[in-house]
A and B are shown apart, each in its own frame.
Chain A
Amino acid sequence: MISKAWVIFILVLIISGQFLVLSLFHNVDDQGVIFGNSVIVIGKWNYVSASVDLLVLPSVVNGTPSQVDIVLPNGTSFSANNPSSGFSMRIKLPMTGFSLANGAISGPVPLSQDHPLNVTIAQNVGDATTYVSSIMASNSATSFQGLAVELYPIIIHGDAQVAISGYGVAL
């Protein structure tokens, strides 16, 4: 007959294991009002598999909805001018690498072992292409023992409300 003390020890071990597995799952949320040329940057470590929801609702100024253009990371562009339905899409970001190393980066999209998935909204950046290039250049060298940063910039031209929600698992 196993003693009660051992039962409690085993339960504590199970709970520790459950917390360990739960720590593999990560989520991010951000939202805000943007104007001018803005950039949403999704960042993740290459060992993270994630899915991100994006919602863009054009702002209405003096009864007229703003014309909003959205340029996705692969260059595809969309237009949205309906303030009620707006533009929404789901982006799947697969795991592209495996690494036993851990690291952390700062900058516009900080990443760490505890936060391997992150998003940031930069509004009215001026020249969006230059902004994206500078971010991509600053993080392109961040690779260490198979660990690499992946950034996915979404450029938005126009005034809008944006909401972005991501969920991922680190393996």
Chain B
Amino acid sequence: MSRTINEEAAVMTKVMELMTALDQVKKYRAFSRLLLDFAAIVLCSVVLLLALELTVNFFKIASGFPCYYSTASMFICGSVVGGSQASPIVQLLAGLSLFLIPAIGVLVGVFWVDRKLRSVRGGEWREAMKEGFPGALRLLQALDWDSVLEDMRISKIGYAVYSVIKVLGYWLLAFIILFFPYGFGISLLHTGINFYVLGLISLILVLVLIRRDLGRRYRQVVSLDAITWELRWFNSEFKRPEFGETGTIEEH
């Protein structure tokens, strides 16, 4: 069976789209693996925070209860009797460490994942595409369809998890940033700070700020679905007799 130049060009275009999408999938697959790294880094920051709290507690016991948990923050060491008090700056930093240490953990995790993702290269297939239609067919032949489809599925999960983590991370940061003006404003009104309200405001602010990014990611998930179906079509098409099991083509 013969194939026209237009048909070849159409197949090559499809293969290029496919390989470009697979490059993206490769990145998201790498990202899903890096989620474990991210989780480990964040958990390490939590271990560090708790270790510091334990150290403070054991220090208090070992030194004969020099001070007490007289404020909301476990780190701030105060005493109604008096005695040595930490400076206001130290007390502020100590109080903020409850939020700062996990926040730094999240930022380090994001930096680590970003750095690793940058090292994931794609586009190796471009050399083969320069050979024309035979090169495109060779690329299709070399694909392990089952693992490609599996990678697509995992990538979709990676998308969703990444979005959730991103919202949670920004939520924490927004909460810390808003804490100061919110607390100041509430103090002027002489009423108590409601952390639930602050948490809700922070969440809504974050959702408003990253709504475009969330929308883009949603569209990417939808397009991944489309690519998955297209891949399935390629898979069945590639097995049809006119392609031939070897992927060769007769030209006239």
Residue total for A at the interface (Cβ-Cβ under 8 A): 29
Task: Give the residues from 50 to 101 in chain B that come closer than 8 angstroms, CB to CB, to chain A.
Answer: 50-51, 53-54, 57, 60-61, 64-65, 68-70, 78-82
With A11-B44, A22-B54, A167-B60 known as contacts, the answer to whether A53 contacts B80 (CB < 8 A) is: yes
Docked pose: A7 CA to B42 CA in angstroms: 12
Q: Is the CB of A22 within 8 A of B80?
A: no
A-chain residues with CB within 8 Å of residue B61 when the two chains form the complex? 169
Whether A88 and B36, one on each chain, are in contact in the complex, defined by CB atoms closer than 8 angstroms, is no
Q: Could you tell me the distance between the alpha carbons of A89 and B83 in the complex, rounded to whole angstroms?
A: 11
Shortest distance between the CB of A83 and any CB in chain B (Å): 16
Question: With an 8 A cutoff between CB atoms, is A61 at the interface?
Answer: no
**Interfacial chain A residues near B43, Cβ < 8 Å:** 8, 11-12, 15
Other-chain residue from A4, A8, A15, A55 in contact with B80 (beta carbon distance below 8 A): A55
Q: How far is the CB of A84 from chain B (nearest CB, A)?
A: 12
Q: How large, as a class, is the contact surface on chain B? A: 20 to 34
Contact B81 A90 (CB under 8 A): yes
Which of B54, B64, B68 is close to A166, meaning CB atoms less than 8 Å apart? Answer: B68
Contact B47 A8 (CB under 8 A): no
Complex contact A18–B81 (CB within 8 A): no
Interface assignment of B39: CB less than 8 Å from any CB of chain A: yes
User: Chain A nearest CB: distance from B230 CB in Å?
Assistant: 33
41-90 of chain A: CB within 8 A of chain B: 51, 53-55, 88-90
Give residues 139-171 of A contacting B (CB, 8 Å).
Answer: 163-167, 169
The verdict on B151 contacting chain A, using a C-beta distance below 8 Å, is no
The reply to whether the CB of B23 lies closer than 8 angstroms to some CB of chain A is no
Given A5-B36, A15-B50, A18-B51, verify A55-B65 contact (CB < 8 Å). no
CA distance A80 to B47 in the complex (A): 47
Q: Does A25 contact B (CB under 8 A)?
A: yes
Query: A92 to chain B: which residues have CB within 8 Å?
Result: 65
B83 to chain A, nearest CB (A): 9
Contact A4 B57, CB 8 Å, known A88-B80, A90-B81: no
List residues of chain A with CB within 8 A of the CB of B249: none
Which of B47, B54, B60, B79 makes the CB contact (< 8 A) with A11?
B47
Closest to B41 in A: A11
In the assembled complex, the Cα of A51 lies from the Cα of B36 at a distance in Å of 43
Question: In the bound complex, how far is the Cα of B36 from the Cα of A32, in angstroms?
Answer: 50
* Distance, CA A53 to CA B53, complexed state (A): 21
B69's closest neighbor in chain A, by CB?
A27
The residue that A22 contacts in the complex, of B36, B57, B64, with Cβ under 8 A, is B57
What's the Cα separation between A8 and B47 when bound, in Å? 11
Q: Within the complex, what minimum Cβ distance (angstroms) separates A89 from chain B?
A: 7
Would you call B193 an interface residue if the criterion is a C-beta within 8 Å of the partner chain's C-beta atoms?
A: no
- Chain B nearest CB: distance from A30 CB in Å? 10
Q: Is the CB of A4 within 8 A of B37?
A: yes
- Using A167-B69, A169-B61 as known contacts, say yes or no to A4 and B36 having CB atoms under 8 A apart: yes
Q: Which of B44, B51, B57, B80 contacts A165 (CB 8 A)?
A: B80
A127–B90 CA distance with the chains assembled, in angstroms? 46
B40 lies within 8 A of chain A by Cβ: yes
Evaluate whether A14 and B79 lie within 8 angstroms (CB atoms) in the complex, with A7-B40, A22-B54, A25-B57 already known. Answer: no
Closest to A168 in B: B65
Residue contact A27 to B68, C-beta cutoff 8 Å = yes
Known contacts A15-B47, A22-B50, A54-B80, then 11 further A-B pairs from the complex at CB < 8 Å, ordered by chain A residue: A14-B47, A18-B51, A18-B54, A19-B50, A29-B68, A51-B68, A88-B82, A90-B81, A92-B65, A165-B70, A165-B78
Please list 26 pairs of residues, one from A and one from B, whose beta carbons are closer than 8 Å in the complex, sorted by A's number.
A4-B37, A4-B40, A11-B40, A11-B43, A14-B47, A18-B47, A18-B50, A21-B54, A22-B50, A22-B54, A25-B57, A29-B70, A51-B64, A51-B65, A54-B81, A55-B80, A88-B80, A88-B81, A89-B81, A163-B80, A165-B68, A165-B78, A165-B79, A167-B65, A167-B68, A169-B57
